Amino acid sequence: MELRDCRYFAAVAEELHFGRAAARLNMAQPPLSQRIRALEEEIGARLFARTSRSVALTPAGEAFWREVRGILALADKAGETARRVALGLSGRLTVGFVNPATDAFLAAALARFRGLAPDVELELREMPTRAQADALIAGRLDVGFLRYAGQDIPGVTVTVVSREPYILALPAGHALARRARAPLAGLDGMPMILPSRGQLPILADAMAAAFARAGATPVAVQEAASKFTMLSLVAAGIGLALLPASVRVWKRRGVVYRDIEGDLPRVELAAAVPAGRDSASAARLIGAALEEAGGREATAAEE
């Protein structure tokens, strides 16, 4: 039995007239009558009582009609669900992200995405960049928002979403806090709180090269995985930290922020998706992220 035959049967059951049912289905009456007879033969029961003047459902036809209504409703629902997923309006989206992305654009982008596609179920996973790359390659993430420094991720398409400068976080009483901008050369010999080199070696090398060009050799006194830990250690006087400019949204007692004079690399955050695996909901979220990041960068440029 084919779904098409169920639709043919439904048209006749609702019209109780083969001619009107055929017109509704945009087909000739004889082929419709043939399909109904073939359906009755397949089922092994008469579904319609036919006379020259009337068509009526038999008891078997009435029972079949009750079941067919449910089948067609489920088929229509399945089709609608597929269409909504294809449009990025339904389904499930697994999103990886590094914490700096939430400050830079992702929190606002998620709110925008919720307004565009409220029926998409979001699973959010805070993950380091390297873990996101592995998860994207393995198909465990639909989209990742990660730190990007030009690294190659096989089988993954990367779109840079935002670029922002580093700023210096330092104790409020520090000598450099008295300056409006801190020169990179002024960090020579300063105790620094750094992210783990293993998280993004390419970026660590670029930072080291920038310090070398400025003639500065800071002293690494502590590694920390998150900006919150870094800020707490800065407040405790353990050292200074270089953080993305979007960290300014976090006000930490005892910590001040200063712009940097020097040739540091920019903080790049990117959206990454498995290559060749189209996801309309992922594309919607990335679009929202690009709009939010673009708006913030334009505002920062005006300021």
294, two tokens? 């673009």
- Which residue in 9, 29, 26, 10 sits closest to 18, CA to CA? 29
Residues 216 and 151 in one domain: no
120, two tokens? 């998409």
Residues 46 and 184 in one domain: no
Is the confidence at residue 299, as pLDDT, over 50? no
Contact 167, 243 (CB under 8 A): yes
Residues 82 and 101 in one domain: no
Is the confidence at residue 199, as pLDDT, over 90? no
Is the confidence at residue 162, as pLDDT, over 90? yes
What's the average model confidence in pLDDT over 65-78?
89
Q: What are the pLDDT digits (tens) for 9-54?
A: 899 999 999 999 999 999 999 999 999 999 999 999 999 998 878 8
Q: How many whole angstroms separate alpha carbon 60 and alpha carbon 65?
A: 9
Q: What are the pLDDT digits (tens) for 129-150?
A: 999 999 999 999 999 999 998 8
Last residue of a domain, one of 86, 113, 141: 86
Residues 63 and 101 in one domain: no
Residues 39 and 96 in one domain: no
Percent of the chain with pLDDT over 90: 67
Residues 6+ apart with CB under 8 A from 23: none
pLDDT score for 206: 87
pLDDT score for 296: 56
Contact 192, 242 (CB under 8 A): yes
Contact 221, 187 (CB under 8 A): no
Number of domains in the chain: 3
Q: How many whole angstroms separate alpha carbon 141 and alpha carbon 284?
A: 15
Alpha carbon distances (Å) from 207 to 44, 165, 184:
79, 12, 11
Q: What are the pLDDT digits (tens) for 175-184?
A: 999 998 999 9
CA-only gyration radius of the chain, Å: 31
Q: How many whole angstroms separate alpha carbon 71 and alpha carbon 4?
A: 11
Q: How many whole angstroms separate alpha carbon 44 and alpha carbon 257?
A: 82
210, two tokens? 């920038």
44, two tokens? 């092994």
109, two tokens? 């982008």
Residues 284 and 137 in one domain: yes
Residues 226 and 247 in one domain: yes
Instruction: Look up the CATH number of the domain holding residue 211.
Output: 3.40.190.10
Last residue of a domain, one of 71, 86, 101: 86
Q: Which domain holds residue 177?
A: 166-265
Last residue of a domain, one of 40, 58, 86: 86
Residues 207 and 233 in one domain: yes
Q: How confident is the model at residue 297 (pLDDT cuts 50, 70, 90)?
A: low
Alpha carbon distances (Å) from 287 to 1, 48, 136, 146, 293:
44, 54, 19, 16, 10
Q: How many whole angstroms separate alpha carbon 131 and alpha carbon 205?
A: 20
DSSP state of 194: E
Q: How confident is the model at residue 202 (pLDDT cuts 50, 70, 90)?
A: confident
Residues 170 and 236 in one domain: yes
Residues 8 and 51 in one domain: yes
Q: How many whole angstroms separate alpha carbon 39 and alpha carbon 251?
A: 73
pLDDT score for 80: 73
Is the confidence at residue 300, as pLDDT, over 60? no
Q: What are the pLDDT digits (tens) for 74-129?
A: 988 887 777 877 667 678 899 999 988 998 899 999 999 999 888 898 999 999 99
Instruction: Look up the CATH number of the domain holding residue 54.
Output: 1.10.10.10
